[in-house]
Amino acid sequence: MPYLSGGWIILAKEKCSLTGMQTNLCTTFLRNKLFEGVKHFWDLLFQLKWDQNFTCWVFIFSFSFHLNDCCVCRKSMQRNKQVFMGCKKFNMDPKKGIRFLIDSGLLKNTSDDIAQFLYKGEGLNKTAIGDYLGEREDFNLEVLQAFVELHEFTDLNLVQALRQFLWSFRLPGEAQKIDRMMEAFAQRYCHCNPGVFQHSDTCYVLSFAVIMLNTSLHNPNVKDKPSHQRFTTMNRGINDGGDLPEDLLRNLYESIKNEPFKIPEDDGNDLTHTFFNPDREGWLLKLGGRVKTWKRRWFILTDNCLYYFEYTTDKEPRGIIPLENLSIREVDDSKKPNCFELFIPDHRDQVIKACKTEADGRVVEGNHTFYRISAPTAEEKEEWITSIKKAISRDPFYEMVAARKKKVSALTSP
């Protein structure tokens, strides 16, 4: 038995001119989205029009359909709602999001099905995808392998393949995760392009060299830009003890020089995501560099960096302290309790690599040889020290490349 229904939806309050084709496309899109799953309509009326009385665009619909189709429509809408909730949960906690989608019957508990879901990436945060793929549990490694195999690198040069691969997620900050993901990439690239490199280790080392070249050429803070000759020299002997063709290295260099890697952003604002789910955050007192006064700042610890803000509502930090190669220790201070310090071990007089925003908006290098910070309580001090120790890194790219070069050298030495 047919069932009559109808209604209208306000779409926008600002008037803009639409061509007949644009109106038809909008109407078709809205009809398909709102009534996905309903196969049989009668007495169709779908209209997109500007309403003079309410001064808004409205989508008007009236139709009749079978009650069975109504149930299908409801089920489809419920499924779409669950998928949306699953994506939202995934973006906040990847493991919980995947578990929700599996329990809801929206994903099969197989590495292939989950890899397809991550590869399509619809509504997913690309940093969360990278974190999930980088985990070392056996099942995550299977998903990573299936995910990499969805990429087709045949007849692509290394830079083209890296562009495709690094656009599908964001590399995590943890060295071991990066290592697993780049290892999988190197093996896949060599499988798709046999004969280009003697061994996947060569592809692994060269991939990191290209990523670091991208940073050196396009980071404004790097003053000493490497030349093609220097890039070639850095990569001598990595192809099972032999040198790679100079034309290949020159083409890779020119490709990166002419067009830097595009890093996928989440929600249009990378800083927004960076501070969305921090390792730790809270109010602390910070001792100034040149002027030794204590100032209250809102600190956020995330992605191996310590950020500080003047107010919690600020969108951009007043300062950034990368934790690479730093150490942390408790200290006593005559003026403030519960203090700890960030410093460079064995180089007490060396200025820490950091930056801050001046009152006039200029971003300048920091001038601290150490950062002394005071927590409100002894318990919070211990918690901050523990969290920062976990976040401190040791320049993972260079360490991993050095280790792999050492492995290649050991394999090729007599």
Give the strand order in the sheet containing 2-12: 2-12, 56-66, 41-51
Residue 269 is classified by DSSP as: -
Closest CA to 18 of 60, 50, 45: 50
CA dihedral 278, 283, 284, 285 (to 10 degrees): 140
Give the strand order in the sheet containing 327-331: 327-331, 339-343, 370-374, 280-287, 294-302, 305-309, 319-322, 355-357, 363-365
**Which amino acid is it at 226?**
P
CA–CA separation, 180 and 193 (whole Å): 20
Beta strand 2-12 with 56-66 is antiparallel
Phi, psi of 11 (to 5 degrees): -105, -45
Q: Is 174 a catalytic residue?
A: yes
Q: What is each CA distance from 248 to 45, 241, 255, in whole angstroms? A: 60, 17, 11
| 174, 183, 316, 382: the active-site residue | 174
CA–CA separation, 44 and 344 (whole Å): 72
CA–CA separation, 395 and 412 (whole Å): 26
> Tokens 């060299």 appear where?
209
Closest CA to 104 of 118, 89, 86: 86
Q: Which residues are catalytic?
A: 174
